[in-house]
């Protein structure tokens, strides 16, 4: 693993566990085993590091979502898998997904970072809209309404469920929150 990747991995874990203000370059230096000056070589500012994290996260999550779409699975199964991605990101209630962690304190995120998050969320919402449009055709989600409204409600639900589970250090809180949504799926 190269130094840049190691830094991104360490920063992502720290941010998802402790928030943007819960880690420093000194912390990354200890975790990765390099001098802080070396971190500044790769990422001159923490804001730049966070933008790089969001870009990598966006690519990874969108690829996972596209894989779900290409899998040939029903809309209901893809929705269960989507919810599963958010549940897995909780790491037993110790973490949040990257964008949710950052949006817990949006005033601390740079304008460039917020723009990257908004681009990611817009793409994620478009994926969900396609999913709910597919559900209207394949019938594997009960009573799908307007795909755009369904997508917005679904994203808000899983993000809020993550926050609740993290606050309680308990994934059961997530499971309870998404239970009604998942009960609409079949096939």
Q: What single string gives the DSSP state of each residue in 99-151?
A: HHHHHTSGGGS-HHHHHHHHHHHHHHHHHHHHHHHHHHHH--BSS---HHHHH
Share of the chain above pLDDT 90, in %: 96
Beta bridge partners of 17: none
pLDDT of residue 64: 95
pLDDT of residue 72: 86
> Are 110 and 54 in contact, with CB atoms under 8 Å apart?
no
- Reported in sequence order, the residue ranges of the chain that DSSP labels E, i.e. its strands, are none
Domains of the chain with CATH codes: 46-183 (1.10.357.10)
12-29, pLDDT tens digit by residue?
Answer: 999 999 999 999 999 999
CA distance 10 to 23: 10
125-142, pLDDT tens digit by residue?
Answer: 999 999 999 999 999 999
Across 71-89, average pLDDT: 95
- Interior angle at CA 57, CA 55 and CA 63, nearest 5: 105
> Are 143 and 184 in contact, with CB atoms under 8 Å apart?
yes
**In this model, does residue 37 exceed pLDDT 90?**
yes
CA dihedral angle for residue 126, residue 127, residue 132, residue 134, rounded to 10 degrees? 120
């Amino acid at each position: 693993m190269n130094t840049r990747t190691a830094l991104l991995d360490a920063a992502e874990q720290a941010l998802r566990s402790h928030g943007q203000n819960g880690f420093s370059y000194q912390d990354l230096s200890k975790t990765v085993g390099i001098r802080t000056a070396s971190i500044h070589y790769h990422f001159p500012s923490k804001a730049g590091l966070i933008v790089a994290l969001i870009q990598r996260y966006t690519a990874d999550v969108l690829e996972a979502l596209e894989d779900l779409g290409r899998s040939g699975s029903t809309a209901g199964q893809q929705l269960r898998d989507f919810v599963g991605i958010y549940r897995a990101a909780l790491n037993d209630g110790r973490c949040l997904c990257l964008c949710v962690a950052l949006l817990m304190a949006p005033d601390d995120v740079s304008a460039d970072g917020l723009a990257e998050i908004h681009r990611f969320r817009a793409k994620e919402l478009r994926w969900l809209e396609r999913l709910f449009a597919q559900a209207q055709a394949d019938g594997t989600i009960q009573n799908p309404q307007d795909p755009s409204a369904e997508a917005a409600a679904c994203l808000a639900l899983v993000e809020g469920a993550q926050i609740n589970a993290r606050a309680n250090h308990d994934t059961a809180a997530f499971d309870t929150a998404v239970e009604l949504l998942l009960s609409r799926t079949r096939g």
